Amino acid sequence: MCLIQHLKNFWRLSRPLNVFIAMLTILVAAFISPQFHLNYKLYLAILISGLMTAGANIINDIYDIEIDRINKPNRPLPSGKVTVKEAWIYFTLSYSGAIVLSYFCGRAMFAIAFVIGLLLIVYSMRLKRTVLWGNLTVSLATAVAFIYGALAVEDWQSGIIPAVFAFLFHLGREIIKDMQDLEGDVQHQSITFPARFGVRTSVLLVNFVFVLLIVLTFLPYIQNIYNDVYLWVVTLGVDLVLISVSLFLWFKNDRITLGRISHLLKLDMLVGLAAIYLGS
């Protein structure tokens, strides 16, 4: 197989939008710090985040291949466009590249990359098919990205607020994704939260998480940490979306609708990043 074909396969498996958002998160996390400055650690952190995200998506697809034959048959692995052997090679190159690069960023950034990388492997192997532990793992990994980006400019504290927001946002979205995958998860005995407690209880939990997040988004403005632009963007671009999703889930939660909601929330991550960027 030629190099171009391998690159195409890697592109399909890596979920490019996820990779882009992960890399942008690092940049925004560094930018909002009063100590922001361009340096080699920041450049490496952006690459590390992209490679780690790509690798995490690939190994997730490897372990989910049978479930995806039901839930997402058009994905590269279940459709046969990419072999499992090829996927393992892409994963190994991505993860090893991320870990090697993190070594040149200092002990703290190396340790974070190593631990988060290990957690995401365990997530794909085991935690994804448990009640909430998988959701919490992914949410933690995405939240830590803000700490990682801020750490690249020697100011990890400035990443705490957006990290909390990211944790709650992704926790709600991950539960929605589990609701979407309920049929395949049940058939393969994956005991996710919706599989254990049902759709209505899952919707209630998503509502609770999103309401908590909405309340917390006002605190940085009240405390004069973020400015008026942040308030307008986060209120109209994020909070309003979360309210709409929370209400809509009670009336329509079929698989297709849940997939659209999940994609909408993924795009809304960009709005959230814009709110933090413009409001800092």
- For the stretch 239-242, contacts whose Cβ atoms lie closer than 8 Å and that sit 24 or more positions apart, written own/partner, are 239/214, 241/265, 241/268, 241/271, 242/172, 242/210, 242/213, 242/214
**C-beta separation of 236 from 230 below 8 A:** no
Residue 2's pLDDT band, with cuts at 50, 70 and 90, is low
**Sole residue written with tokens 């957690």:** 119
Distance between CA atoms of residues 57 and 20, nearest Å: 13
At 83-139, the pLDDT tens digits run 899 899 999 999 999 999 999 999 999 999 999 999 999 999 999 888 999 999 999
Specify the pLDDT at position 157: 94
Question: For the whole model, what pTM was predicted?
Answer: 0.93
pLDDT above 90 (res 198): yes
Mean pLDDT over the full length of the chain: 93
Domains, the chain: 3-279 (1.10.357.140)
pLDDT above 90 (res 190): no
User: Which tokens belong to 107?
Assistant: 């002990």
At 33-65, the pLDDT tens digits run 999 999 999 999 999 999 999 999 999 999 988
User: Which tokens belong to 186?
Assistant: 């049940």
CA angle (214, 216, 220) in 5-degree steps: 120
Q: CA separation (Å) from 237 to 60, 205, 229, 273?
A: 30, 22, 11, 11
